[in-house]
């Protein structure tokens, strides 16, 4: 499967709502409660406005195998951008059909390069449930280093989960693995 990273745009609402319709348990905890086309449109509008304000940076992982760029496979995002301290919180999600192929790892490596090199963000942080080896592998494949464990941090369906918190600094060695092409936002 061939994919690219690109900015989200309003025309993605229907494709995003289709991802929401097919969401499995792993994805349900990472997407908004309103999974309609209007909900997808609202989410896209909120992140594009926040990105324009400099509060976050988000990129859609999009299948470009047929050149149409309409099948959404996932998202990588830096939120909580703190300019005075040059840090941001990283999150990602992927549709079930995109998992296990290295797409999210390649997307995150490209996104890390963009954040460090083009946006000048020094410290990137992320966290994942300790019982989620796939998320741990994605973090490791972008050379995030575990800095600690937060006990019973997350609550899903009445069950509390420990998380591992990771970070990478702009001067940390980059993973030599493949990168996903990034298209520039329209001017």
Note whether residue 67 is domain-resident.
yes
Evaluate whether residue 27 is within a structural domain.
Answer: yes
Neighbouring CB atoms inside 10 A of 43's CB total 22
Check residue 58 and give its pLDDT. 97
Q: How far apart are CA 63 and CA 101, in angstroms?
A: 13
| 60, 71 contact by CB (below 8 A) | no
Residue 104 in any domain: the answer is: yes
Whether residue 140 is contained in a domain is answered as yes
pLDDT in tens, 32-52: 777 789 999 999 999 999 999
Q: How far apart are the first and last CA of the chain?
A: 28
DSSP string, 97-129: GGTTTTHHHHHHHHHHHIIIIIS---EEEEEEE
β-strand pairing of 123-129 with 145-156: unpaired
Question: pTM of the entire structure?
Answer: 0.92
Over residues 95-123, the pLDDT tens digits come to: 888 888 999 999 999 999 999 999 999 99
pLDDT band for position 30 (cuts 50, 70, 90): low
The answer as to whether 82 is a domain residue is yes
Please give the Cα distance from 140 to 185 (Å, whole number).
28
What's the CATH code of the domain at 114?
3.40.630.30
Q: Per-residue pLDDT for 27 more than 90?
A: no
Q: Looking at residue 2, what is its pLDDT?
A: 87
For residue 186, being part of any structural domain is answered with no
Query: For residues 71 and 176, what is the distance between their CA atoms, to the nearest angstrom?
Result: 27
pLDDT, residue 69, reads 56
CB atoms within 10 A of CB 81: 20
pLDDT, tens digit, 9 for 90 and up, residues 116-158: 999 999 999 999 999 999 999 999 999 999 999 999 999 988 9
Share of the chain above pLDDT 70, in %: 93
- Contact status, residue 106 vs residue 92, Cβ threshold 8 Å: no
Q: How far apart are CA 44 and CA 59, in angstroms?
A: 11
Number of compact structural domains in the chain: 1
43 falls within a domain: yes
- Domain containing residue 20: 3-169
**85 within some domain:** yes
């Amino acid at each position: 499967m061939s994919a690219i990273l690109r900015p989200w745009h309003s025309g993605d609402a229907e494709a995003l709502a289709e991802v929401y319709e097919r969401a499995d348990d792993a994805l349900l905890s990472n997407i908004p409660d309103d999974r309609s086309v209007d909900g997808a449109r609202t989410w896209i509008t909120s992140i594009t406005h926040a990105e324009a304000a400099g509060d976050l940076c988000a990129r859609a992982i999009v299948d470009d195998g047929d050149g149409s760029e309409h099948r959404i496979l996932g998202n990588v995002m830096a939120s909580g951008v703190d300019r005075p301290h040059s840090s941001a919180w990283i999150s990602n999600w992927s549709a079930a059909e995109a998992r296990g192929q290295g797409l999210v790892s390649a997307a995150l490596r490209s996104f890390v390069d963009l954040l460090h090199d083009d946006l000048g963000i020094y410290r990137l942080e992320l966290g994942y449930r300790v019982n989620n080896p796939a998320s741990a592998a994605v973090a490791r494949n972008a050379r995030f280093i575990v800095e600690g464990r937060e006990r019973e941090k997350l609550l899903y369906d009445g069950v509390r989960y420990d998380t591992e918190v990771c970070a990478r600094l702009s001067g940390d060695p980059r993973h030599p693995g493949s990168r996903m092409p990034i298209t520039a936002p329209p001017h």
